[in-house]
Amino acid sequence: MFSSLAITAPFLLAGLQAVSVDAIQTISAVGAKFFYENGTQYYIKGVAYQLTPDDPLTDEAQCKRDIVRMSELGANAIRVYHVDASADHQGCMDAFADAGIYLFVDLDTFTTAIDQTSPHWNETQYERFGAVFDEFQQYNNTAGVFVGNEVLDTAEGSIAAPYVLAAARDMKAYRDKKGYREIPVGYSAADIASLRPMLQNYMACMPKAADRLDFYSLNAYEWCGESSYTVSGYDELQKNATGYPIPIFFSETGCNTPAPRTFDDQAAILGDDMDGTWSGAIIYEWIEETNDYGLISYGAYVTNAAATNTLVEDGYTRQGTPTPVSPDFSNLLSQWATLNPTGVALSAYTAETSTITARTCPSSTADGWAVDPSSSLPTLGQTYSKDSADSTGTGTSGSNSTATSSGSSSTSTSKSAANSVMVAGNLATERLFAVSMLLTGAVGVAAFWL
């Protein structure tokens, strides 16, 4: 028996080393939190990284230069808004993985984003979203995908909410049909007070888990200058998010008026006030541009750059040695250096997931929220029509209005149905818990026999 285990142990340890060293752990959404494969909770310390308008993840050398500064900053995530699905991203994605940095990527393009004024969800959008998903699902450090960014940016935009959710539903079905791992699918919302918290609740209220988001995130710039948890309104954001059934985080934050930015809000987000509910924050943004939100600069502003100079766009150099913008970079570094929430272990959290319930779908209101909670989600090929929406709540169907997944046009029912036990994440919970226990047991066996 000893000799058999003695022979097996080196192979076991080699396998463990392969898991822990050669491959970055994947991130999963379980209940209202993100977890690494080993069962440790994942908190986001991220930066918005759109170095070039079309795709910042194709220049491996530049990615590696930027990673040095990101690692110094303490970042463990980036957000990228636009990519070219046909490009080669292997070099950059591997480099980010080696540094322990995860990607949240938007699936839409400049021409396929859902429009709030005349919302629709069609085959072209579906195919383009799917192409980006196809490209980035292969990387273990893809932590999540967005089906939209600030689609609703006015109080009148609520009519687009069902279309955002329909896109999420169909991308989740696409992911599952392709046999991809359960990469979380979510949405990045503008912080519109008149839609708060209706939009947030709507995105997590459908009776079927397949029709809900996997995570929700908020672009919020309320904490400005010398503010506080209550003055900024973060206490209200926390109140609205308490008990939220899926992970929630700040997909953009970092008010820059007045300057300089001190990032004091990070102590609230990643501290005792909010870290039990929120999963971290992404700071806007990496490169210094006209809006003065940058943490990094690649040189002085260039006036009248030649059209042939591909390194300069809109007067800003987008390649080279990253130089910290002072004092913003060091201010953020100082904040993050002291903020390391540990959260809860998956093994301890698993029992809680059985008590998590979906939100109650918000009723339509006369002064902003225009979504009928009893209406079905749009089907593929559907375009919003006000006349039709007056009676159906979601608009008219196009010629391609076939459902893309079973249950894809579910109907929100009564409060009791909306409050039924939420099962999203149960499969992920089981898988993560099994991996966590396997690794723990394997290490123990190996240590004992060696």
List, in sequence order, the alpha helices (H) in 152-210: 161-178, 198-202
How far apart CA 15 and CA 11 sit, in angstroms, is: 6
How far apart CA 281 and CA 79 sit, in angstroms, is: 10
How far apart CA 386 and CA 392 sit, in angstroms, is: 10
Q: Please measure the distance between the N-terminal and C-terminal CA atoms of the chain and give it in whole angstroms.
A: 13
How far apart CA 389 and CA 187 sit, in angstroms, is: 23
Catalytic residues: 150, 252
Give, to the nearest 10 degrees, the angle between helix 123-136 and helix 161-178.
50
Interstrand relation of 296-297 and 77-80 (parallel, antiparallel or unpaired): unpaired
The token pair that represents 138 in the structure block: 């292969």
- Which residue in 357, 359, 353, 356 sits closest to 412, CA to CA? 359
How far apart CA 286 and CA 381 sit, in angstroms, is: 37
- How many Å separate Cα 444 from the centre of its chain? 35
- Burial (Cβ within 10 Å: 0-12, 13-18, ≥19) of residue 156: middle
- Which residue in 183, 94, 91 sits closest to 130, CA to CA? 183
DSSP-assigned states of every residue in 11-36? HHHHHHHIIIIISPPPEEEETTEEEE
- How many Å separate Cα 233 from the centre of its chain? 22
DSSP class of residue 44 equals E
How far apart CA 226 and CA 258 sit, in angstroms, is: 9
Q: What is the largest CA-CA distance in the chain?
A: 77
DSSP helix, strand, coil percent of the chain (3-state; round to 5): 35, 15, 50
Identify whether the C-beta of residue 167 lies closer than 8 Å to the C-beta of residue 173.
no
Identify whether the C-beta of residue 35 lies closer than 8 Å to the C-beta of residue 42.
yes
